[in-house]
Amino acid sequence: MASQSGPEAAEEHTSGADIQSFFDSAPPLKNSLEITDKLKEFLDKNSIPTRDGRANRVVCVTSGGTTVPLEQRCVRYIDNFSSGHRGAASTEYFLKAGYAVIFLYRRGTCQPFCRSLPDDPFLECFKFIDKSHVKVREPHSEAVKMAISDHHNVIEKGLLLKLPFTTIFEYLQMLQMVATSLSVLGPHAMFYLAAAVSDFYVPWKSMAEHKIQSGSGPLDMSLVQVPKMLAVLRKEWAPFAYCISFKLETDKNILLKKADMALSKYKMHVVVANELLTRKEEVVVVTGDGKVSVCRDKTQVDSDVEDPLIKLLVEKHSIHLEDSCS
C-alpha cells in the first residue's frame, strides 16, 4: 500500500481543474435547500451586532471523519476514524467564549455537552419508575442534566446550528455552502477545521455500480487524491475569515514539518499539530510567528486541552480582527 510520490509533490498539483472535477463527480447533495434555509436563519440572527455594538463572532467547527464510498449502491466504504471528541469539546468552549457555532459533524460522532455520558446513554441512563414516569439512573444524573439542559439551551437560543455529514462528497459541498454564507461576516468568521478528511477517493462515475464480488485473488484498488480544498476556502470561499486547520500524525518526527508545510501552502492563520497518542494532553499551535505548546491543566482530573487551546485561539482571532479593522 503506497502512494506514488512524496507529499511535497502532491500538493503542488492541486488545481482549479482538479477541484471542478471533484465537485462534478460528486453525487448531488440531497438536502441542500434545507441547509440553505437553516444557514440563512442562523446568520440573520447571529450577524446583528450585540447591544454593546460589538459584531458577533461565528465559528464553523468541523468534526469527525468523512467516508469514501467504494460502490455506488454503497455497501463498502473507506472511513477515517475520529470520535469527534475534539470538535465537541471545542464547540462548548467557543460557546462559552461568546461565539455562535456551526457544528459540521459526522453522523453518530460525539456531540457537544455529551462527553461525560456512557457509550449508549439512551439505554443506560434512564428507567421507568411507573408507566408514565421516567427517572435518571445514578451515577449519571449530573451528566445527563448538563447534556440535555445545556444542549437545548444553546439550540433554543439559536447559538448552535448542527449540520451532519457522512461522505467526503457531502462534507466538502456543505463546507463550501457554509463558507460562502459566512463570507459576509468578513474577519468575524472563523473556521476551525478539526474533521478528519479523507485524502483519497474513488470518483463517483468510475465507481462500481454493484457490490464488488469476492474472488480468490487479492482485491486491487486504486484511489485518487482528494483535491486540497483549504487553499480554495482561503482564497475564494471566505477570503477574510480566520482559518485554523489541524494536522494529525502517528509519527511525531514528521508532524511539525507537515504542520509548517500546511501553514505556508494553504495560507492558514493557524495549524494545530497533534500526535495520535498524546492528542488529549498536548497540541502545538503553529503560526507564522512560531510554535506554542498547549497542555491540559494536569492538576485537574477533568480538564481539557481544548480549554487553553480555545482561549489562545480567541486571543489570536481578536488580534486578527484589530489588524483587519485598522
**Of 227, 242, 178, 234, which Cα lies nearest the Cα of 29?**
178
Say which DSSP state 9 is in: H
- Looking only at residues 280 through 309 of this chain, which bind a copy of itself when binding is defined by CB under 8 A? none
Among 28, 53, 139, 218, binds a copy of itself (CB under 8 A): 218
Number of neighbours of residue 267 by Cβ within 10 angstroms: 15
Q: Which residue's CB is nearer to a copy of itself, number 174 or number 202? A: 202
The reply on whether position 204 binds a copy of itself by CB under 8 A is no
- Looking only at residues 246 through 265 of this chain, which bind a copy of itself when binding is defined by CB under 8 A? 248-251, 254
The reply on whether position 151 binds a copy of itself by CB under 8 A is yes
Among 19, 100, 144, 271, binds a copy of itself (CB under 8 A): 144
Pairing relationship of beta strands 100-106 and 160-165 according to DSSP bridges: parallel
> What torsion, rounded to 10 degrees, do the Cα atoms 262, 264, 265, 267 define?
100
Only one residue has cell 475520529, namely: 82
Pairing relationship of beta strands 100-106 and 134-136 according to DSSP bridges: unpaired
- Tell me the window of 2-10, 25-33, 39-47, 170-178 that interacts with a copy of itself (CB under 8 A): 2-10
- Looking only at residues 94 through 113 of this chain, which bind a copy of itself when binding is defined by CB under 8 A? 107-108, 111
Among 40, 54, 96, 135, binds a copy of itself (CB under 8 A): 135
State the nearest-atom distance from the C-beta of 294 to a copy of itself, in Å: 22
Q: Which residue's CB is nearer to a copy of itself, number 39 or number 202? A: 202
Question: 240 to each of 98, 100, 124, how far by Cα in Å?
Answer: 20, 18, 46
